[in-house]
Structure 1
Amino acid sequence: MNQILEPRNVIAAGTARTRDEAIREAGALLVGSGAVSEDYVASMFEREASVSTYMGNTLAIPHGTNEAKESIRRSALSLVRYADPIDWNGQPVRFAVAIAGLNNEHLEILSKIAIVFSDEDEVQKLIDASSAEDIFALLEEVNAE
Structure 2
Amino acid sequence: MATAMKLEKEMVLLNQQFTTDEEAIEAAGALLVNHGYVRPNYVESMKSRHRLSNVYIGNHVAIPHGTEEAKGEVLKTGLSILQVPAGVAFGTEQAKLIIGIAGIGDEHLELLSHIAIICSDEDNVERLVAATTAEEIIQLLSVEV
1:102 aligns with 2:104: yes
Q: What RMSD, in angstroms, separates the aligned Cα atoms of the two structures?
A: 1.4
For 1:4 and 1:107, locate their aligned partners in 2 and report how far apart those are by CA, in whole Å: 17
Letter in 1 for 2:102: A
Alpha-carbon distance in 2 for matches of 1:2, 1:74: 12
* Match of residue 19 from structure 2: 17
1:58 counterpart (57, 60, 77):
60
Cross-structure match for 1:131? 133
Letter in 1 for 2:142: E
Once residues 55 and 45 of structure 1 are traced to their aligned partners in structure 2, the CA distance between those partners, rounded to angstroms, is 15
Q: Distance in 1 between matches of 2:124 and 2:44?
A: 31
Corresponding letter in the other structure for 1:81: Q
CA contact (8 A) 1:26 1:79 kept: yes
1:1-145 to 2 correspondence within 5 Å?
Answer: 1-141=3-143
Once the two structures are TM-superposed, the CA of residue 2 in structure 1 deviates from its matched residue by 4.9
| Mapped contact 2:65–2:101 kept (Cα < 8 A) | yes
Alignment: residue pair count: 143
1:93 partner amino acid = A
The percent identity for this pair of structures is: 41
Are 2:17 and 2:86, in contact at CA under 8 Å, matched by a contact in 1?
Answer: no
Contact 1:12 1:135 in 2 (8 A): no
For 1:132 and 1:15, locate their aligned partners in 2 and report how far apart those are by CA, in whole Å. Answer: 16
Contact 1:4 / 1:77 at 8 angstroms: preserved in 2? no
Alpha-carbon distance, 1:4 to partner: 4.9
For structure 2, list consecutive stretches of 5 or more residues without a partner in the other structure.
none
SS at match of 2:30: helix
| Aligned counterparts of 2:85 and 2:121: Cα–Cα separation in 1 | 20
**What is the deviation of 1:61?**
0.4
The TM-score, its normalising length taken from structure 2, stands at 0.93
Does structure 1 retain, via aligned residues, the 8 Å contact 2:17–2:88? Answer: no
Structure 1 residue 37 displacement after superposition: 0.3
